[in-house]
């Protein structure tokens, strides 16, 4: 019987290095479509794929004194450092069976925020724009 992938059981690796545990992991792939319409015809003739975008976000369960910058997944510094910060490859593991469920390639930092919930758990939410998203079968 299939199990749900839930809770803080997602282990995150960036460029092959274990970063930590996360909850609220969210990956999204969008295919941009363009309608081909012809003057004088009310119906669309075709719908063409013109691009694909990928984004990824997660709530890292915070360990004190370990910032995203210290983990190597967020730039710290001025303009040149931010502009030249390398792309990342993320792998999301299910720690129960140690399988890679998702891989995100070509990730560039976009936003970060932090939260402390009512149970006292501190998380850091971060989002990245990326180039490719692979599922557990390795399919783009």
The domain ranges of the chain are 10-135
User: Whose structure tokens read 């910058």?
Assistant: 69
| Distance of alpha carbon 36 from alpha carbon 127, whole angstroms | 33
Distance CA 38, CA 45 (A): 7
Return the pLDDT at 36. Answer: 96
Q: 102: which residues sit within 8 A by CB, 6+ positions away?
A: 27, 90, 91, 92, 133, 134, 135, 136
Look up the CATH architecture of domain 10-135: Roll (2.30)
Q: What is the structure's pLDDT at 63?
A: 63
pLDDT tens sequence across 8-24: 568 899 999 988 888 88
Max intra-chain CA distance, the chain: 64
Best CA proximity match to 97, nearest among 52, 133, 55, 136 = 136
- For the chain, percent helix, then strand, then coil, each to nearest 5? 5, 55, 40
Q: Where are the alpha helices (DSSP H) in 56-103?
A: 79-83
Stretches where the chain sits below pLDDT 70 are 1-9, 63-65, 140
Instruction: Say what the pTM is.
Output: 0.81
């Amino acid at each position: 019987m299939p199990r749900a992938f839930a809770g803080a059981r997602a282990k995150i690796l960036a460029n092959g290095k274990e970063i930590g545990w996360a909850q609220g992991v969210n990956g999204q792939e969008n295919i941009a479509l363009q309608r081909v319409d012809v003057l004088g015809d009310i119906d669309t003739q075709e719908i063409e794929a013109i691009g694909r975008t990928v984004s990824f976000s997660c709530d890292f369960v915070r360990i004190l004194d370990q910032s995203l910058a210290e983990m190597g997944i967020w730039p710290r510094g001025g303009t040149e450092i931010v502009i030249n910060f390398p792309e990342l490859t993320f792998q999301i593991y299910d720690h129960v069976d140690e399988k890679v469920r998702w891989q995100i390639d070509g990730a560039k930092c976009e936003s970060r925020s932090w939260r402390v919930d009512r149970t006292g758990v501190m998380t850091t939410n971060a989002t990245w724009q990326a180039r490719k998203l692979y599922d557990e079968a390795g399919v783009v």
